[in-house]
């Protein structure tokens, strides 16, 4: 059996097991070389982080508790000198995505060979606007070069614009531009942390009036347009169900149609190995305590609290909440999941 088939078989097995956290985001570093105006991470950097071996041990534990999809984020994860070893280890066990602000990927091609998605963050086709958002001159050129280089090298590259009022009217153009070149697109949605928990694990979204979506009708129209485009454009990775859920938030009723599944179908791990349901809440233990902690009374209580929480709309958490269960995975497969093909490589 090839390693790709072994991985696919192991993932299918885990995806059918109920009551497991199928998605994990590991923020493997808090170092960042950019200064994005909608993000807090660069302001709160930390030199400390887990060693390569500690991360590998943690990844084994995540696999044991049922995780099938792993996102390596940060900070900028590719700033870690050992990121290639981490990606190789993770990619053998999970459907693995690694984020990059576009500054590192082209320099770290060998580190990226085995990843399922190298997600490059690009927020605009307009160079000046993108560099304003990233607050680094040259950010746009770096990111465009990264996408082109990775594609030429046969590395699985995707782009991830963060939808905000600043780029709302060009999301369709951004989507068409990249997907017409064969590059898949996923989206983030600009959000900011409301300090639900004064001891939150990590601060990401920073309140910024320029980014808050004020043209709600345009957002509804965008969701409708993307749902329409998806029928023909298989490179739009976001699912119809997620787009419909997003649309409900901006329709007249502003309905929140999902219940949060933090610490149930997904969890977050920080650069020191601390875990939480999401970055907005305090840590509730360490990844190394997980097999026992996962079944603890403490976690059952936290799950209930998070289930009733409505404090954020980070799209990854909405996605994990919609698709964490075996039923969710089946519906994901129906909607667009190509992982069977993706994994057997
Ligand atoms: C926090 S970054 C970390 C990874 C890497 N540094 C990068 O920029 O891709 C992960 C993703 O979150 C997006 N992001 C940044 N600020 C955000 C915010 N306030 N709300 C939602 N997404 C945000 C980034 O554009 C990026 O696509
Ligand atoms: S979005 Fe990414 S690149 Fe920008 S400051 Fe935050 S962590 Fe750094
Ligand atoms: S809604 Fe869920 S992901 Fe968002 S802050 Fe609350 S518990 Fe965290």
> Is 280 touching ligand 3 by the criterion CB < 6 Å?
yes
Cβ(188) to ligand 1 under 6 A? yes
Q: What pLDDT is recorded for position 15?
A: 74
The boundaries of the domain holding residue 298 are 3-343
Name the token pair of 139. Answer: 């950010």
Q: Which of 282, 306, 307, 318 has the most ligand 3 atoms within 8 A of CB, as the residue to mutate? A: 306
Q: What is the pTM of this model?
A: 0.94
Q: Determine if ligand 3 sits within 6 Å of the CB of residue 260.
A: yes
pLDDT for position 344: 39
- Tell me how far the alpha carbon of residue 9 lies from the centroid of ligand 3, in angstroms: 31
The Cα 16–Cα 332 span in angstroms is 13
Check if 121 has its Cβ closer than 6 Å to any atom of ligand 1: yes
Residue 279 Cα, ligand 3 centroid: separation in angstroms?
Answer: 8
40, 42, 122: which to mutate for ligand 2, most atoms within 8 A of CB?
Answer: 42
Counted domains in the chain: 1
- Provide the pLDDT for residue 36: 96
CATH code of the domain covering residue 186: 3.20.20.70
Ligand positioned closest to the Cα atom of 120:
1
Please give the pLDDT value at position 175: 98
- Strand pairing report for 266-269 and 275-276: antiparallel
| Backbone torsions φ then ψ of 237, nearest 5 degrees | -75, -25
Mean pLDDT in order along the chain per 10 residues (345 residues) = 77 77 95 96 93 98 94 97 98 95 98 96 98 97 98 97 98 98 96 78 85 97 98 94 96 92 95 95 93 92 94 93 74 53 42
Chain segment 178-196, per-residue pLDDT in tens: 999 999 999 999 998 887 6
Residue 315, ligand 3, Cβ within 6 A:
no
- Please give the Cα distance from 111 to 28 (Å, whole number): 15
Q: Is the CB of 318 under 6 A from ligand 3?
A: no
Ligand 3 centroid to Cα of residue 262, in Å, is: 7
326: enclosing H helix or E strand: helix 326-335
Do 140 and 71 form a contact (C-beta atoms < 8 A)?
no
pLDDT tens for each residue of 48-71: 999 999 999 999 999 999 999 999
Mutate to test the pocket of ligand 1, among 33, 36, 71, 238 (most ligand atoms within 8 A of CB): 36
Whole-number Å distance, alpha carbon 304 to ligand 3 midpoint, is 11
- Of ligand 1's listed atoms, the one at least distance from the Cα of 120 is 9
Packing angle, helices 216-230 and 171-179, rounded to 10: 20
Ligand 1 lined by 167 (C-beta under 6 Å): no
Which pLDDT score is estimated for 330? 63
Structure tokens at 118: 């190298």
Q: Which H or E run includes 95?
A: strand 95-100
């Amino acid at each position: 059996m090839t390693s790709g088939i072994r991985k696919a078989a192991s993932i299918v097995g885990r995806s059918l097991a109920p009551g497991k956290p199928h998605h994990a985001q590991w923020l493997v570093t808090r170092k960042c070389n950019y200064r994005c105006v909608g993000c807090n991470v660069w302001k709160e950097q930390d030199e400390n982080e887990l060693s390569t071996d500690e991360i590998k041990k943690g990844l084994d534990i995540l696999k044991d508790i049922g995780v099938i999809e792993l996102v390596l984020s940060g900070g900028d994860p590719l700033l870690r000198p050992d990121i290639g070893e981490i990606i190789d280890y993770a990619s053998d066990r999970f459907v693995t995505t690694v984020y990059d602000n576009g500054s590192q990927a082209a320099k770290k091609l060998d580190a990226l060979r085995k990843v399922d998605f190298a997600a490059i963050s690009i927020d605009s086709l307009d160079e000046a606007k993108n560099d304003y958002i990233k607050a680094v001159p040259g950010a746009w050129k770096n990111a465009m070069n990264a996408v082109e280089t990775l594609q030429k090298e046969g590395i699985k590259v995707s782009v991830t614009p963060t939808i905000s009022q600043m780029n709302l009217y060009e999301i369709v153009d951004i989507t068409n531009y990249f997907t017409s070149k064969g590059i898949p697109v996923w989206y983030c949605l600009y959000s900011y942390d409301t300090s639900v928990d004064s001891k939150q694990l990590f601060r990401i979204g920073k309140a910024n009036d320029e980014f808050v979506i004020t043209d709600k009708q345009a957002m509804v129209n965008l969701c409708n347009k993307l749902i329409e485009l998806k029928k023909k454009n298989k490179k739009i990775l976001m699912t119809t169900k997620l787009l419909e859920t997003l649309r409900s938030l901006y329709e007249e009723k502003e309905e929140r149609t999902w219940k949060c599944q933090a610490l149930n179908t997904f969890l977050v791990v920080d650069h020191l190995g601390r875990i939480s349901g999401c970055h907005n809440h305090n840590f509730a233990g360490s990844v190394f305590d997980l097999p026992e902690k996962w079944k603890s009374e403490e976690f059952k209580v936290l799950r209930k609290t998070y289930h009733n929480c409505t404090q954020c709309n980070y799209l990854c958490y909405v996605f994990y909440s919609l698709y964490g269960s075996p039923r969710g995975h089946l519906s994901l497969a129906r909607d667009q999941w190509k992982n069977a093909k993706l994994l057997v490589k």
